């Protein structure tokens, strides 16, 4: 193989494996979130970001990867709270804080709640583009 072929092959491999493998667009979401592991008392926190497939939030304790948790939050475009079951993808301690960042994937969600989240995310992304806050 020539050097030129190796360079082209490396370039094509890089394109086929992008760093961001997310399936859904996410937005910063300033909503309150109630979370708890099944059978436990709920805790309140803030959502850090939100997508149709999951969320990231801050908690006072780490959760083990794979733990199923219940989440409840209100969206500004929905009258009823969104309730979902989620699986923890990971926990990371925040620097200079006693809190943990929790990433969770939605595993059980009502179709109308999924639609409400999708519409909200699309609206927030569109509004940011209009205001020039998102790179094009």
Q: What is the pLDDT along the chain (136 residues), one digit of tens a residue?
A: 555 555 555 554 544 444 545 566 777 877 899 999 877 778 999 899 999 999 999 998 899 999 999 999 988 877 889 999 999 999 999 998 999 999 999 999 999 999 999 998 998 888 766 555 544 4
In the chain the domains, ranked by start, together with CATH numbers, are: 27-131 (2.40.10.220)
Q: Which two tokens stand for residue 74?
A: 């209100």
Q: How far is CA 30 from CA 25, 33, 35, 48, 124, in A?
A: 16, 9, 15, 7, 12
Q: What burial class does residue 108 get, using C-beta atoms within 10 Å of its C-beta: 0-12 exposed, 13-18 middle, 19+ buried? A: exposed
Q: Which of 73, 9, 1 is nearest to 35 (CA)?
A: 73
Rounded to an integer, what distance in angstroms lies between the CA atom of residue 123 and that of residue 108?
23
Instruction: Classify each residue of 57-80 as buried b or exposed e, where b means 16 or more C-beta atoms within 10 Å of its C-beta.
Output: bebeebbeeeeebbbebebeebee
- Relative to beta strand 54-59, strand 82-93 is unpaired
Give, as one character, the DSSP assignment of residue 57: E
Collapsing DSSP states into helix, strand and coil, what is residue 16? helix
């Amino acid at each position: 193989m020539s050097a030129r072929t190796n360079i082209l092959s490396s370039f094509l491999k890089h394109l086929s494996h992008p760093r961001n493998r997310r399936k859904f667009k996410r937005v910063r979401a300033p909503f309150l979130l109630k979370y708890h592991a099944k059978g436990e008392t709920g805790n309140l926190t803030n959502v850090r970001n939100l997508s149709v497939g999951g969320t990231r939030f801050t908690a006072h304790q780490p959760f083990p990867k794979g733990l199923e948790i219940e989440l409840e939050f209100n969206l500004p475009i929905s009258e009823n709270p969104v309730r979902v079951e989620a699986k923890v993808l990971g926990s990371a301690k925040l620097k200079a804080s006693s809190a943990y960042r929790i990433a969770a994937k939605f595993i059980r969600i009502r179709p109308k709640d999924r639609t409400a989240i999708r519409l909200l995310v699309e609206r927030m992304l569109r509004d940011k583009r209009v205001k020039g806050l998102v790179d094009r």
